[in-house]
Structure 1
Amino acid sequence: MASGPEFDFCVVIDDDDDILMASRLLLRRLFTDVAIANTPDEALPAIQARTPDVVLLDANFARGATDAAEGLAWLDRLLAIDSEMVVVMITAHAGVQVAVAAMKRGATDFVSKPWSNEKLLATVRTAASLRRSRKAVAGDKGTGPAPVPTGASPLLGQSPAMARVHSLIARAAPTEANVLVLGENGTGKELVARELHRQSLRADKVMLTVDLGAVSEDLIDSELFGHVKGAFTDARTDRVGRIQAADGGTLFLDEIGNLPLRLQPKLLTVLEQRQVTPVGANKPVPVDIRVIAATNLPPEKLHDESHFRQDLLFRLNTVEIGLPPLRERLEDVPGLIDHYLDHYARRYGREIPALSPAARRTLLTHDWPGNVRALRHALERAVILARDMPLEPEDFALVSTAPRIAPAAVVAPRAQDDLNLERVERRLVEEALKKHGYNISLAAAELGLSRAALYRRMEKHGL
C-alpha cells in the first residue's frame, strides 16, 4: 500500500504556468495540499491564513528581469511575516550569486531551473523536515515560546545555574571564539546560540542554522560544503553550501553529534584554514565564519574517539556552555509557569487561569524530563483544553515520575492494565528517551522511528 504525503501544505510561486502545474503534480507526493500562484501578491492571503511547510519562490517575475531583486524583496517580506518561514528560492539566472544572496537573507535553500524531479523532491523534503524539526524543537509561530522584550534575553530564569549561563554568554559573545552548547533536549540550546549571535560583533550579519539531525546523512556533505556542477550524478548545477553562505556571519551547527565521522576531518579543515572546498571543486573558497555548535550527546559519547574526533571537539569548544536541565533549577519553575500561562491566555483569548494548590505542587515537584519545552507544552495544552478553574493536576496529563525504585514491579502491571493507546505510546516514548539520556537519534532507533517521527510524538505528548 502506498503511503500518504509526509507533509501538510506547500506554496509554489512562479510566473510560468507550466512550472506551476508540473511542480504541483510532483509535490503532491510530499504534501497534502499544494497551492500555486503566478505572483507573490496572489499567494499572500493563503500564506497569511495558513503557514506553509515550505514556500518555493521564484527569483524574477517582471518580463526580462534577471537580477532577482523582486524575489529577494519578497523573501524579506515573507520572513517579516514569520521569521521561521522556510523559503526555497527558484532561479534560472545567475544561480550561484542569487543563491548566496538569498541564503544570507534567510532562504533555506535554492533550486535552479530546469531541475530534475529527484533533486527538487530531495531539496523540498529536506526543507520541510527542517521546518518540522524547528517547530518540534523551538515551537512554531502559533505555539512557540512567549516573546520577550526587545533587547532582553529569551532565556528565562533567575536561578544561580541560569545566572552562570548568562554570564558565559555575555563574556563569550563579543569574541570570535567558537562555542559548544551542551544540554538535554528542550533546555534551550538554540536560544543560547541566537543570544550569542545577538550579542556578538556579527549581530548585523547573517546567522545560518544547519540541523544535522534533520538532514539525511547522504545530503550533509552537499548541505554544508556545497558542490559544483557534475560533482556527482544529480549535480546539474553549482550549489552553495551553508558554510559559504554564512560568510561574514555565524554558522550554528545544531546536533553536531550527528555529523558523520567521514565528514568531521573536512569540517576541521574549514575551521583551521578558514576556507571551504565544495564537493567536486579544485579550488578552496575563503570564508569568514564564527561557529556555534550544540549537542545533546552525553560526555562519554562526545569524548569517544570512535564517535567524535577529539581534534574537532577542541576546535569547537573553545568556550563550552552547559545548559542545566529544568530539574536542576526548579526554583525557576514558578516564574516559567506565570510567564507561559500569561502568554497562552493572551494568545488564545482566555482569562489567565488560576492553579489549585495541588496543581501548583504537581508542577513544582515534577522532574520535567522534557525540560522547558515540556513545561511549555503542558501549560499550553491546559490553557486550551481546561473547562473549569482553577486548573487541577489532571489538566496537565503528566506521567508520574515517582515509581523509580522498583520499575519491574510497577511498569509491568501498568502496561498490562492500561491499554489506552495514547498513554501507552507516551510511556514508551518517554522510557526510550530516559534510557538513552534524551539522545534523539538513539531513542528513535530503539523505537524504530525516524528522528522527525520521534520529534512529532514528543510534541504530541508534550515531552
Structure 2
Amino acid sequence: MKKYNGSILIVEDDEDVAITSRMILKQYFECIEVLPSPKSLESRLRQETYDVILLDMNFKAGVTSGNEGLFWLNRIQALSPLTQVVLQTAYGDIDLAVRSIKEGAVDFLAKPWDKDKLVTTVINAFKQALARRENREPKVRQKAQHQYLNHGQGTFIASAPSMRNVLKTIEQVSGTDANVLILGENGTGKELVAWAIHNQSKRADQAFVSVDLGAVPPSLFESEMFGHEKGSFTDAKETRVGKFELADKGTLFLDEIGNLSPDLQIKLLSALQNRNISRIGSNTVIHADVRIICATNAPLNDLVRRGAFRNDLYYRINTVEIQLPALRDRKEDIPLLFDYYFEEYCRRYHKTFSVDPALAQQLTRYDWPGNVRELQHAIERAVILCSRPELTIDDFQLYGPTMQAEEADRSLNLSNIERDAIRHALKKFNGNLSRAAEELGIGRTTLYRKMEAYGIGRTEGA
C-alpha cells in the first residue's frame, strides 16, 4: 500500500493511545511523531511543519472541560496556520464537538474510537491540509514575484560599430528560449544586455530574476536557488520560494557564474537539465519554466580546460554566446551614454547645468577601465559636486595614464607641462592657492614661487 507523503503529529498523554495511534497511522503516512505533552509544542512548530496534528483535549489529571485542547488549538493556528487539527477526548459531548469545530478544528474524535474511524478522519484532514497549502502556494509565489515584475533596468544604449553584432544577436535570440552566455569585463553592462533580451522576448511581461552567484554563500546556495520549507533546517522559520520558482514563466539571470564552485556546478546542472527542482525539506518536484541567461567576466574556456568549470555545464548554458566589448572599444557610445546619465542624475538631484561643448569629446580620451559603470558613477559624482553653472572636464576626477592628451595641443616639454598643470589647478579652484597647492601635491610657498617663475598671475585661473 502506497503511503501518503504527509507529516502527522500526535499529542497524547495516554501512552497506550499514543502507541496505538502511531502503529495504525504509520501504515498510511510517511512521518508520524508523538509528543506526550503540549509543553514543547510551540518550539516543535517553530522547527517543523506538520500537515495534521491529532490533539488530545485534556492533559491535567481530573480535568475534563477540554479547555486545554482549545487553548492549544488556537496556538497551533497562530504558529502554523496551514496545519489541520483533529481534537480527541474521552469526555466528548455534542456541545464540545461543536465548539471545537467553531474554534477551527477540522474534526473531532471521541475516545474510544475504532481504527477505521481514526484512519478516515486523519486522511480527510490531510487532504484538506494539502488543498489549503495548494491554494496558498500561488499567493505566496505571486507575492514574492511581485518585486521582480515590471522593474526593468536602465536603457541599453549602443550605436558603435563594434556593438552591431551584439545588437543583431540580441534581436535574433530574443524570440527564442535558447540559453545565452554573456561574456565581458566588469561594468560593461552584461545585465543590461540580459534585460534587453528579456524585454524583447515573449516572457517580457513575466519576472526577470537576477542572482549574483558570486555573492551567494555555498551553504545557502540550495535555499537561495531552490527554496526551503519551514522547519527544514535550524533557521528556516518560514517557507521560502527559491529563485527558480520566482522566475517561473520568466527569465533567470545568473551573474558571475564563473565563480561557482565545482560541487555547486553539479547542483545547478541538475536543475538546468530538466528545469525540475525541489525545495529543501520537501520531496515535491516543482517544474520551473524559466529562460536561462548567464554572465561572467571570467575566461570560461580556460576554466574548462583547467577542469575548474564543468564542460557539460558550459555547453548547457552556452547555446548562444554574446561577447560584450569594453567601453574603450566602443568610444563612439560615450556621448550618448553621457547624455543619458547626465539627464538622469540632474533629474534625480534636482540640478540644472549647461555643459561644456568640448566635454563629451574630452571624455572619450579616457580609457574607462571600469567601463560603463565607471562612466556612470563619474557623471553622478560630477553632477552632485559641481557648484558652477557649467559642467566641465574639471569636474571629473579621472586618474591614471589612460587620460590621453592630443599630441597637437599639448607640449611634452616638462616646464610647459608644469605651467599648464598650475594654470589648470588655479582654474579648477577659482584662484584658491591652498586648494590648488593641495591638488598639485606641493606646498603653498612652492606654488607661489613657481607662479612667479612662470609669470602666472593668481587671477589667471579665477
TM-score by length of 1: 0.54
Higher-Rg member (1/2): 2
Deviation at 1:375, TM superposition (A): 0.9
Q: Aligned pair in 2 of structure 1 residues 186, 380: CA closer, same or farther (>3 Å)? A: same
Answer whether contact 1:106 1:208 (CA < 8 A) is retained: no
| Cα drift, residue 299 of structure 1 | 4.0
Residue 367 of structure 2 corresponds to: 367
User: What whole-Å deviation, never above 9, does each CA across 1:256-305 have from its counterpart, x for those lacking one?
Assistant: 22323212112112221221122343342222111111112134554345
Q: SS at 1:177's partner residue?
A: coil
Separation in 1 of the partners of 2:195 and 2:263? 28
Asked if 1:105 is matched to 2:106, the reply is no
Q: Distance in 1 between matches of 2:300 and 2:211?
A: 22
Deviations 1:14-33 (A, max 9, x none): xxxxxxxxxxxxxxxxxxxx
> What CA distance in whole angstroms lies between the structure 2 residues aligned with 1:285 and 1:175?
23
Long gaps (5+) in structure 2:
1-77, 83-132, 405-438, 441-462
Structure-2 residue corresponding to 1:248? 249
Q: Structure 1 residue 389: deviation in Å? A: 5.2
Contact 1:342–1:352 (8 Å) recurs in 2: no
Larger relative contact order, structure 1 or 2 (CA cutoff 8 Å, min sep 6)? 1
- Aligned partner of 2:346 in structure 1 is 345
> By how many angstroms is 1:391 displaced?
3.6
For 1:192 and 1:231, how far apart are their aligned partners in 2? 37
Distance 2:313 2:389 in 1: 53
8 A Cα contact 1:341 1:352, kept in partner:
no
Q: In the aligned structure 2, how far is the partner of 1:95 from the partner of 1:302? A: 43
Equivalent pair of 1:345/1:353 in contact (CA under 8 Å):
no
What do you get for the CA RMSD once the two structures are aligned? Answer: 3.6
Alpha-carbon deviation of 1:156? 0.9
Q: Does 1:209 align with 2:210?
A: yes
Q: Structure 1: how far apart are the matches of 2:302 and 2:223?
A: 26
3-state DSSP of counterpart to 1:194: helix
Q: Does the 8 A contact of 2:203 with 2:250 survive in 1?
A: yes
Work out the CA distance in 2 between the residues paired with 1:240 and 1:343: 34
Contact 1:205-1:248 within 8 A present in 2 as well: yes
3-state SS in 1 of match to 2:355: coil
Cα distance between partner residues in 2 of 1:330 and 1:402? 13
2: CA distance between counterparts of 1:197 and 1:293? 13
Residue in structure 1 matched with residue 435 of structure 2 by the alignment: none
Residue in structure 2 matched with residue 354 of structure 1 by the alignment: 355
- Shift, 1:341, TM fit: 2.6
Kindly report which structure 2 residues correspond to 1:266-285, keeping only aligned pairs within 5 A, or say none: 266-285=267-286
**Per-residue Cα deviation, 1:329-352 (whole angstroms, up to 9, x for no partner):** 111112222333333334433334
Q: How big is each residue's C-alpha offset from its partner over 1:204-224, in whole Å with a ceiling of 9 and x where there is no partner?
A: 222222222332222122100
Q: Where do 4+ consecutive residues of structure 1 move more than 6 Å?
A: 92-95
Q: 2:156: which partner in 1?
A: 155
Distance in 2, Cα, partners of 1:387 & 1:232: 55
* Equivalent residue number for residue 177 of structure 2: 176
CA distance in structure 2 between the partners assigned to 1:192 and 1:403 by the alignment: 28
Cα distance 1:204–1:339, how it changes in 2: closer, same or farther (>3 A)? Answer: closer
Q: Which runs of 5+ in 1 are unaligned?
A: 1-62, 68-91, 109-140, 148-153, 405-421, 424-463
Q: CA deviation at 1:233?
A: 3.1
Q: Tell me the CA shift for residue 312 of structure 1.
A: 0.6
2:399 corresponds to: 399
